[in-house]
Amino acid sequence: MSATPIATGRSATGIGTGKLAVWWLLASEIVIFGGVLVSYMLFRLSHGPWAAHSEATNLYIGATNTVVLLTSSFFAVTAHKYAEEGNGKEAAKWLWFTIGGAALFLVFKSIEWSIEIGHGFTISRNTFWSFYYTAAGIHASHVIAGALLMVWVARSAARGEHLHRVENVGIYWHFVDLVWIFLFPLLYIAK
């Protein structure tokens, strides 16, 4: 009996099944992140003291992490370009650069949270900081998940296998970047 996986070989929808699954995943993520972000906006607009609380977020680290994520997105789309050309080794190399971006983001995030917690801004301090750590924490967990997925995809891409997964994981990574594009002004700029 053949062990060929049928899920990657058929496409009545016009696009690969794996890629469609990623789009469905992101559709559900829109509701998760959208819920958190819109809740934050509603509370921020209706609670004056949140302006004072938000003064304590670290704009420098937030901006640095924005640069890191945008750069890693560029690396991910470059990996996709090489995967389309059938160059698995180059695709894997650029995916590893993307993973490096994810690691750097997490390092900066750890430093930022350490400073904030050290100043007494913990998750239980007030509702603002609960939202802050929840939103940034859910996002950071997606960064970790994306980095682990990219390790898996980069290893197979380096062998020239399953190159379509480079695009799939890239789409997920761009979404993680997209969420940060809105988190950055919400948590760090609009003070």
Partner 1 sequence: MSEEHAAHEGPSYFKTYVTLMVLMFLSLIGAWIGKEVGILAITLVSAFGIALVKAYLVAARFMHLNIEKRYIVYMLTTCLAFMFLFYTAIVSDIQNDTGANWTKPQWIEREAAWADGTWVDPNPVEHHGDEGGHGEEAEHH
Choice between 2 and 171, CB closer to partner 1: 171
CA-CA-CA-CA torsion sign (16, 19, 23, 28): positive
Dist. CA 62–CA 132, nearest whole Å: 12
Choice between 4 and 28, CB closer to partner 1: 28
Minimum gap (Å) between residue 18 Cβ and partner 1: 14
Choice between 133 and 175, CB closer to partner 1: 175
Minimum gap (Å) between residue 167 Cβ and partner 1: 8
Q: What is the DSSP string of 18-76?
A: HHHHHHHHHHHHHHHHHHHHHHHHHHHHH-TTHHHHHTTS-HHHHHHHHHHHHHHHHHH
Q: Could you list the residues that contact partner 1 (CB under 8 A)?
A: 13-15, 23-24, 26-28, 30-31, 34-35, 38-39, 42-43, 45-49, 51-53, 55-61, 63, 66-67, 70-71, 73-74, 76-78, 80-81, 84-85, 115-116, 118-121, 125-126, 170-171, 174-175, 177-178, 181-182, 184-185, 189-191
Cβ neighbours for 106, distance < 8 A, ≥ 6 positions apart: 140, 143, 144, 147
Minimum gap (Å) between residue 39 Cβ and partner 1: 8
Minimum gap (Å) between residue 50 Cβ and partner 1: 10
Grouping H, G, I as helix, E, B as strand and the rest as coil, residue 15 is coil
Choice between 9 and 120, CB closer to partner 1: 120
Contact 166, 157 (CB under 8 A): yes
CA 33 to chain centre: 11
Minimum gap (Å) between residue 3 Cβ and partner 1: 28
Choice between 1 and 187, CB closer to partner 1: 187
